[in-house]
Chains A and B, each alone.
Chain A
């Protein structure tokens, strides 16, 4: 990120707020054991208690503290969000770079591959992969990473097409650099910014999909606390336990919105025309 981009980004108070919020959530997730009690400690004597002094956000159907579960849920959401996006960033950048740099058959092949992936309804494909390979932290991340790289690939390809004939690239070529060096040392660093914008949206969507999978019982298996699986217990007790439905939902919503806002404002900041 250049200084000019950052100073344009900084002008948006909303974007800074979102960034600060993400930082706080990440800090809470890392320090979870210091901040709260064991999210899995069952207390059948105090099942489905509404929020009070001891349980600020109430308890669930096993008497577990909802606040601790929401805090520990942040660990799952953020780590799935970041790792899945890292996987799709690597796949997408590589394929997009190859397509944009080599043109011709490589470009054609990658474009057809993207077309195929985009035909599948995203959630169906992810559900099928997770179900076939059994739900776990690993399968969810891999399923999300393998299915969501197309946007990154398209952005990377577009950037490569734009910059590959620029003078600095020609200079590198003229001085006898190998293709791999031109791609990774010269072109990639100059093409990465728009791809990072789509990665920010990617984290938002990975968190959203993971919570949906958890809600459907198709993500990290219980008793691990995730925002989605607290909501699925809320569905069973919808007639009397509103607090189960409200708080984890707010956590998902704010976190997803924060990543979306950062992505949006970052995109605007990259584009001087948007002034």
Chain B
């Protein structure tokens, strides 16, 4: 197993360089002066000497390969430069907003798992029956709903028509004057709609994934063996099938995180939730490229780490990966 994990980690290092190289190439293939990325496009009032100084400071006067290495050194030190909007360090800005995104996504992730996995397992045991076919179509439709539209309809119904939940924001205006219990309740009320929006699409992913995992397990020889030796159908499911079907869910860790971050951009923008998704989009609008690029690289690296973790956990949980032939 050690050799498998070592190889996986080495690939991870390679992928890390691939990620940084991809972003670097992307930025440098944009027509125009790269100095725009560092000081913004409003540089006409600067003298030539000042521009040269900025170029020198950001190593823009050096060959491309050297520029990449300087940038890579920054990324390795988690230093993505400073924002051109407020001149704060990009890393500081990201860390400030991260807890808000984390809160929203963790709740949605857990809800989706707790509701989606049992539904998926259940529908695998009812494979081919009308109920299961109907629920499969239902999940498909759910998956096809654009999240920003769902968000708009939820706002329209719960906030405008019924007036029971706040339209957007993380807290009410009078939040600071509330007691601790009221604060909790107020924040919870603001959480409801964004959490629903983030949960429903993941629900479909969890359900489909766990359904196909269990369907795969039920086809295996050891399930046939268990049935053949006369184990009760329920016991076969609980003792043999379910536990093995849960293992592939580990890989969802690496798959769901980029999906969550993408979803956060839209949901946080609509509900004015002050997280990294909203930071990303406002930085795009402000042409704050250091923040945009920093967040792009940072989220890609988080995804990479999550999928490495998932692969290692998978190898620990499933001996066939550890001792089987090399995975590609």
A-to-B contact residues, CB < 8 Å: 14, 107, 111-113, 115-125, 127-129, 131-133, 204, 208, 211-212, 215-216, 218, 228, 231, 234-235, 238-239, 242, 245-246, 249, 252-253, 256-257, 260-261, 264
The answer to whether B261 and A132 touch across the interface, beta carbons within 8 angstroms, is no
Residue among B143, B152, B156, B258 with the highest chain A CB neighbour number at 10 A: B152
Pick the residue among B296, B303, B328 that contacts A128 (CB under 8 A).
B296
User: Known: A112-B15, A257-B140, A257-B144. Contact between A245 and B266, CB under 8 A?
Assistant: no
The answer to whether A112 and B11 touch across the interface, beta carbons within 8 angstroms, is yes
Give the residues in chain A near B296, CB-CB below 8 Å: 120, 124-125, 128
The answer to whether B19 and A120 touch across the interface, beta carbons within 8 angstroms, is yes
6 interchain pairs (CB within 8 A)? A119-B307, A127-B280, A238-B155, A245-B153, A257-B144, A260-B143
Residue among A119, A231, A249, A264 with the highest chain B CB neighbour number at 10 A: A119
Which secondary structure dominates chain A's binding surface? Answer: helix
Within B266-287, which residues are at the interface with A (CB < 8 Å)? 266, 269-270, 280-281, 284, 287
User: Known: A121-B303, A124-B265, A253-B149. Contact between A132 and B27, CB under 8 A?
Assistant: yes
| Complex CA distance for A208 and B259, rounded to whole angstroms | 14
* Chain B interface category by residue count: 35 or more
Which secondary structure dominates chain B's binding surface? Answer: helix
Q: Does B46 belong to the interface (CB within 8 Å)? A: no
Give the residues in chain A near B269, CB-CB below 8 Å: 216
The answer to whether B146 and A121 touch across the interface, beta carbons within 8 angstroms, is no
Give the residues in chain A near B147, CB-CB below 8 Å: 212
| Complex CA distance for A231 and B149, rounded to whole angstroms | 7
Q: Does B18 belong to the interface (CB within 8 Å)? A: yes
| Complex CA distance for A205 and B112, rounded to whole angstroms | 21
User: Known: A119-B19, A127-B281. Contact between A204 and B152, CB under 8 A?
Assistant: no
Within B221-276, which residues are at the interface with A (CB < 8 Å)? 257-259, 261-263, 265-266, 269-270
The answer to whether B149 and A249 touch across the interface, beta carbons within 8 angstroms, is yes
| Complex CA distance for A115 and B10, rounded to whole angstroms | 13
Pick the residue among A116, A218, A231, A264 that contacts B148 (CB under 8 A).
A231
Q: Which residue of A has the minimal Cβ distance to B292?
A: A128
The answer to whether B262 and A115 touch across the interface, beta carbons within 8 angstroms, is no
Beyond known contacts A119-B307, A121-B261: 17 more, CB 8 A cutoff: A116-B19, A119-B15, A119-B19, A119-B303, A119-B304, A120-B22, A121-B259, A123-B266, A124-B295, A127-B281, A128-B296, A131-B287, A133-B30, A211-B146, A212-B148, A215-B266, A245-B153
B-to-A contact residues, CB < 8 Å: 11, 14-15, 18-19, 22, 26-27, 30, 137, 140-141, 143-149, 152-153, 155-156, 160, 167, 257-259, 261-263, 265-266, 269-270, 280-281, 284, 287, 289, 292-293, 295-296, 299-301, 303-304, 307, 328
| Complex CA distance for A112 and B304, rounded to whole angstroms | 12
| Complex CA distance for A107 and B328, rounded to whole angstroms | 9
Give the residues in chain B near A228, CB-CB below 8 Å: 148
Residue among A112, A115, A132 with the highest chain B CB neighbour number at 10 A: A132
User: Known: A242-B156, A256-B144. Contact between A128 and B149, CB under 8 A?
Assistant: no
Give the residues in chain A near B263, CB-CB below 8 Å: 123
| Complex CA distance for A125 and B296, rounded to whole angstroms | 7
Pick the residue among A112, A123, A127, A235 that contacts B14 (CB under 8 A).
A112
